[in-house]
Amino acid sequence: MLARVHSEALSGLESHPVAVEADVVPAAPAFTIVGLPDAAVQESRERVRTAIVNSRYEFPSRRITVNLAPADVRKEGPAFDLPIALALLCATGQSRCGLSGAAAIGELGLDGSVRPVSGVLAVAQSAQRRGLRTLLVPDANAREAALVAGLDVLPAATLRQAAALLAGVAGAAVERTDAERLLQHHETADADLSDVLGQAGVKRVLEVAVAGAHNLLMVGPPGSGKTMLARRVPSIMPPLSVDESIDVTRVYSVAGMLPAGVSLVVRRPFRAPHHTISAVGLVGGGATPRPGEVTLAHHGVLFLDEFPEFRASALEGLRQPLEDGEVTISRALQSLTFPARIMLVAAMNPCPCGFRGDKGRHCTCPAHRLALYGQRLSGPLLDRIDLRIDVPRLTPRDRRALAEGEPSAVVRARVAAARDRQRRRLAACGASANAHLSARGLRELCVLEPAARSELDHAYETLHLSARACDRVTKVAQTIADLDGSDTIARQHVRESLSYRGESWKRA
Amino acid sequence: MTGRPHTAGDGAAAPSDELATAGLRRLCLWLGRHAAYDRGLVGRLVRTHGTFAAVLAQPQGALARALRPHPAAEAVDQAGTLVTGAAVAAGQAGAHEAVVAWCDADYPPGLRELFDPPPVLYVRSRQWQAMLRALRERPTVAVVGARRPSPYGLEMAWLLGNGLARAGVNVVSGMALGIDAQAHAGALDTLDAGAALGTSAAKSGGATPIVLAGVLGAGVRLAVPRTNAGLYASLDDRGLLLSEYGWLLPPHAWHFPARNRVIAALADATVIVEGSGRSGALHTAAFAADLGRDVLAVPGEAGRPLSAGPHHLLREGAHLCESADDVLGLLPEGAWRRERRGAAVRLAEPGSDSGDPPFERREGPEARVLAALCRGQHTADQLQQALGLAPAAVAAALSALEIDGLLEVQPGGRYRARREGREAASR
């Protein structure tokens, strides 16, 4: 007898429908799964068999054939356990499929329990978009799936429950998860900007960077507080909107990094991969493409400490995501796009030994190593970093004299106001922040006062700026003007912007 | 002018003594060749025999017993002739080159005061005879210091080299990177400016030229370090290159401290600009002090590693050097000075601690930031705290000053007023 249960297969951040067909015929006992299953799917035979027996159903000692259609798409992971088991129960008449337009996903334990799987939110979203009405999910994933409006989410904790739900004899859909409420009831970040003593200049630059979504490079000796400052960048970013937090949650869910019991990521991501990371680890990829760190930092901060120590291939891979806000990974069988709208915060020492320009310590780097160090970062990559600043080390005396400075919430309010101004001005050209302005948008939407223009021309000559550097200075000046609540870019804004272009470390 | 060294310098000895002089000169050349390979050879001989003159009175065979055998030096010996030979230390002097022996009249007299003078000097210059004469006639000042100085050190070295040359003083240094090269660059700038104006300093004819001498730790035909190839070419053209290590002998670690004693002995006064506590510049200063010459040190910022050397010297009694004037004050009166009187400029302005002076055009935060910078180097944070300004205002003021060339940004996010800035602040 033949039975069919619908399921979903994940591919990148999207899912596509898979029909799980089971046929049981009286012949020599066998259990075959066809339809390009990978090792994890093949192993599901053992889990399904044991789960069915331990759920006090009868496992047929006949010839069982399970087909996963369409047969030309590779099927991966343990999420087909539940639909295969349900299809088998239907095929043997121990249950029936009473719901139309329903799909099931879930992993089975040997005792017949239904275990959580990754990527449930992504599955729920794309299934709902395709018109699916009901999704049967593991109990532990229910609240995550329930973020999607217009979809009935049925939670199952055991195979028996799942069979009852599929037959339509028991259970009700879970209540929809209220993302807005979740976002309101939490602290935005655990680290506050006021934890950092002094460094008022650097804090100002962080504010400018976040206000315009500019990428930032901090250059300073060890112990100058670069990492501490970078960790506090998310705390001054505007809180995640509902759509943004669902975007982030989807990525974390697919990556299997959503902690147990968490249905929604409510804080902006802060990712700080170690500098030994591979190019694939950083931008994503692999035989079956998985999101890399740039995607995990989507809508948040990607912090790269010891910037020049990263592999050249990894750093060059950052160019596309920094430019387009997404990563496209092409493999022989498929081409996938992951979102990667990040703010890059990079940090580096001024020289290999770290003490160049430091007041108290002597730099011991030979000249040729200094020259090499500066060359490790390519021009095209640096061009995508609008703000570069020196972070000097504070002496203990300096530190004692310092006040705490503003808490993050105060800075965040100013940032939010500046972002609002930008959104209104940039609505026409599709960019959401000054950093994403095209050269054309820059010409058309940024208004320099005459004094500001002449100051920029003057600087262009005396400071030997490149045309690209001029564009960066203008973009940052626009953000400073936005923070200032000014419609046009004044001379003062250009001047401040000029002092954040930080070329000093490149000079030998 | 020919650079052939076969005749002894202008009337070094009476014609009757010609044979004896030629013998003496040959001995000097022989000793010099071996001294380039045999570390401390001359010192050992002088300790045995009392004085260098007494060493030269010994027969060559007796001196040869003190030699440590060295294959290259022996090859030179076997080649036989005076200055031709297979090894790199010997070879014919080319155009604009000369070998000056201890017994020659051209030999710089200051070097004779050394305990272990170089037996010979290998010289390269377009007008080496006039240059060597100028070394005798004009006072000479050595400017030495760190190979990797701070921008402040670079500026001071440049200003000192420039000001000293402008006052008509010879400038000698070690051709190393950093302070040495910068002092030469400053002096060259004066020379070029003088050439453009057609002043006497640049005329190669009658007046004594001002010598920019570079003492090398390698063969005199080698531009070492390569980074300084441009400077080497300039000194080859308009200055004087000296070495006691032959024409093409590659540098050896022990050459450099030995070279420092030549620098100290050539100069009437030695100025140390920047250097750590174990800088080679301290050796030069110690040699100068041993010779009874003046030692000056340019003070640095307290607590910086590069200030350790000069401050150590100041503590030991070295003269304070804030500008070329401080050096000139120590030099003897003479014809050179009258010729140049008033030419030296006051370089460093005294601190402008007397509040914020009124600037033309420059007012508000910019003036206050500039005044604060004149009191020392600062980070943006320190300025912001000291002046009570907003970070944004400080950043804007710093940029405005940088655009106008009044300050410079140093690695590590420190800002420093340039000379133009200090002048503007004190105006």
* Cβ contact B395–A499 (<8 Å): yes
Tokens 């050595």 label which residue? Answer: B142
A221 touches B: beta carbon within 8 Å: yes
* Cβ contact B385–A401 (<8 Å): yes
The greatest distance separating any two alpha carbons of chain B, rounded to the nearest whole angstrom, comes to: 85
Q: State mean pLDDT over A226-241.
A: 90
One-letter amino acid identity for B221?
R
Task: Say if CB B417 and CB B425 are below 8 A apart.
Answer: yes
Q: Write out residues 181-220 of B within 8 Å (CB-CB) of A.
A: none
Question: Which of A203, A350, A500 is facing B412, going by the closest CB pair?
Answer: A350
Please state, for a pLDDT cut of 90, what percent of chain A lies above it.
50
Question: Which of A350, A389, A402 is facing B411, going by the closest CB pair?
Answer: A350
Confidence band for A229, pLDDT divided at 50, 70 and 90: very high
Q: State mean pLDDT over B5-23.
A: 56
Least-confidence region, from A40-44, A77-81, A392-396: A392-396
A499 touches B: beta carbon within 8 Å: yes
Please state, for a pLDDT cut of 90, what percent of chain B lies above it.
26
Task: Say if CB A155 and CB A173 are below 8 A apart.
Answer: no
A363 touches B: beta carbon within 8 Å: yes
Residue B332: the pLDDT is 82
Q: Is the pLDDT of residue A279 over 90?
A: yes
B392 touches A: beta carbon within 8 Å: yes
Domain locations along chain A: 2-167, 193-424
Same domain flag for B201 and B138: yes
The 10s digit of each residue's pLDDT in A3-26 is: 999 999 988 888 999 999 999 999
Same domain flag for B260 and B404: no
A350 touches B: beta carbon within 8 Å: yes
Q: How far is A457 from chain B (nearest CA, A)?
A: 10
Q: Is the pLDDT of residue B89 over 50?
A: no
Using a CB-CB distance cutoff of 8 angstroms, which residues of chain A are in contact with residue B276? Answer: 362
Flag whether B68 is in a domain: yes
Q: Is the pLDDT of residue A213 over 70?
A: yes
Q: How far is B62 from chain A (nearest CA, A)?
A: 45
Residue A506: the pLDDT is 58
Confidence band for B39, pLDDT divided at 50, 70 and 90: confident
Flag whether B202 is in a domain: yes
Question: Which of A201, A357, A455 is facing B381, going by the closest CB pair?
Answer: A201
Flag whether B94 is in a domain: yes
Same domain flag for B280 and B313: yes
Tokens 């001989």 label which residue? Answer: B45
Same domain flag for B138 and B281: yes
Flag whether B118 is in a domain: no
* Cβ contact B412–A390 (<8 Å): yes
Higher pLDDT among residues B110 and A431, named by residue? B110
Mean pLDDT for chain B?
A: 80
Q: Is the pLDDT of residue B98 over 80?
A: yes
Q: State mean pLDDT over B250-266.
A: 91
Same domain flag for B51 and B174: no
User: What ipTM, to 2 d.p.?
Assistant: 0.80
B364 touches A: beta carbon within 8 Å: no
Flag whether B358 is in a domain: no
* Cβ contact B411–A201 (<8 Å): no
Residue B377: the pLDDT is 64
Q: Which domain holds residue B71?
A: 15-112
Using a CB-CB distance cutoff of 8 angstroms, which residues of chain B are in contact with residue A201? Answer: 379-381, 384, 391, 394-395
Same domain flag for B144 and B256: yes
Within A446-499, where are the H helices?
Answer: 450-462, 467-484, 491-498
B381 touches A: beta carbon within 8 Å: yes
Optimal mutation site among B409, B416, B418, interface A, most CBs of chain A within 10 A = B409
Using a CB-CB distance cutoff of 8 angstroms, which residues of chain A are in contact with residue B399? Answer: 459, 494-499
Same domain flag for B331 and B404: no
Which residues on adjacent β-strands are paired with residue A336? A329
Q: Is the pLDDT of residue A284 over 70?
A: yes
Contacts by residues A398-404 (CB-CB < 8 Å, ≥ 24 positions apart) = A398/A198, A398/B381, A398/B382, A399/A197, A399/A198, A401/B385, A402/A197, A402/A198, A402/B385, A403/A197, A404/A194, A404/A197
B395 touches A: beta carbon within 8 Å: yes
Q: How far is B350 from chain A (nearest CA, A)?
A: 23
Q: Is the pLDDT of residue A362 over 90?
A: no
Q: State mean pLDDT over A193-201.
A: 85
Q: Is the pLDDT of residue B338 over 90?
A: no
Q: Is the pLDDT of residue B340 over 60?
A: no
**pTM above 0.90?**
no
Same domain flag for B192 and B313: yes
Residue A435: CB atoms within 10 Å: 24
Using a CB-CB distance cutoff of 8 angstroms, which residues of chain A are in contact with residue B177? Answer: 367
* Cβ contact A500–B395 (<8 Å): yes
Please state, for a pLDDT cut of 70, what percent of chain A lies above it.
96
Among the three residues B112, B136, B157, which one is the final residue of a domain in this structure? B112
* Cβ contact B396–A492 (<8 Å): yes
Optimal mutation site among B276, B378, B403, interface A, most CBs of chain A within 10 A = B403
B148 touches A: beta carbon within 8 Å: yes
The 10s digit of each residue's pLDDT in A167-180 is: 888 777 778 888 88
The 10s digit of each residue's pLDDT in B287-322 is: 999 999 999 999 998 888 899 999 999 999 999 999
Question: Which of A389, A401, A463 is facing B403, going by the closest CB pair?
Answer: A463
* Cβ contact B391–A361 (<8 Å): no
Q: Which two tokens stand for residue B336?
A: 């050179």
A490 touches B: beta carbon within 8 Å: no
Flag whether B1 is in a domain: no
Same domain flag for B107 and B132: no
Mean pLDDT for chain A?
A: 88
Residue B241 φ/ψ, nearest 5 degrees: -110, 135
Q: What is the CATH number of domain A193-424?
A: 3.40.50.300
Strand, coil or helix: B17: helix
Confidence band for A479, pLDDT divided at 50, 70 and 90: very high
Cα(A134)–Cα(A413) distance, integer angstroms: 41
- Decide the pairing of beta strands B212-215 and B170-173: parallel
Residue B424: the pLDDT is 80
A241 touches B: beta carbon within 8 Å: no
Residues 6 or more apart whose Cβ sits within 8 Å of residue B69: none
One-letter amino acid identity for B320?
L
Using a CB-CB distance cutoff of 8 angstroms, which residues of chain B are in contact with residue A220? Answer: 412-413
Indicate the burial class of A368 (C-beta count within 10 angstroms; 0-12, 13-18, 19 or more): exposed
3.30.429.10, 3.40.50.10490, 3.40.50.300, 3.30.230.10: CATH of A2-167 = 3.30.230.10
Q: Is the pLDDT of residue B346 over 50?
A: no
Tokens 């630059």 label which residue? Answer: A205
Q: In terms of Cα–Cα distance, which of B261, B330, B334, B262 is closest to B297?
A: B330
Flag whether B137 is in a domain: yes
The 10s digit of each residue's pLDDT in B163-199 is: 999 888 999 999 998 999 999 999 998 888 876 555 4
Residue B361: the pLDDT is 55
CATH number at residue B279: 3.40.50.450
Using a CB-CB distance cutoff of 8 angstroms, which residues of chain B are in contact with residue A402? Answer: 385
Q: Is the pLDDT of residue A386 over 80?
A: yes
Confidence band for B347, pLDDT divided at 50, 70 and 90: very low
Question: Which of A350, A394, A498 is facing B399, going by the closest CB pair?
Answer: A498
Question: Which of B392, B409, B412 is facing A221, going by the closest CB pair?
Answer: B412
Same domain flag for B325 and B419: no
Using a CB-CB distance cutoff of 8 angstroms, which residues of chain B are in contact with residue A495? Answer: 395-397, 399-400, 403
Domain count, chain B: 3
Residue A289: the pLDDT is 84
Flag whether B346 is in a domain: no
* Cβ contact A495–B413 (<8 Å): no
B92 touches A: beta carbon within 8 Å: no
The 10s digit of each residue's pLDDT in A74-118 is: 888 889 999 999 999 999 999 988 888 889 999 999 999 999 999
Residue A239: the pLDDT is 87
Same domain flag for B35 and B149: no
A316 touches B: beta carbon within 8 Å: no
Angle at CA of residue B172, ends B167 and B176, nearest 5°: 130
Q: Is the pLDDT of residue A197 over 60?
A: yes
One-letter amino acid identity for B353?
D
* Cβ contact B403–A455 (<8 Å): yes
B410 touches A: beta carbon within 8 Å: yes
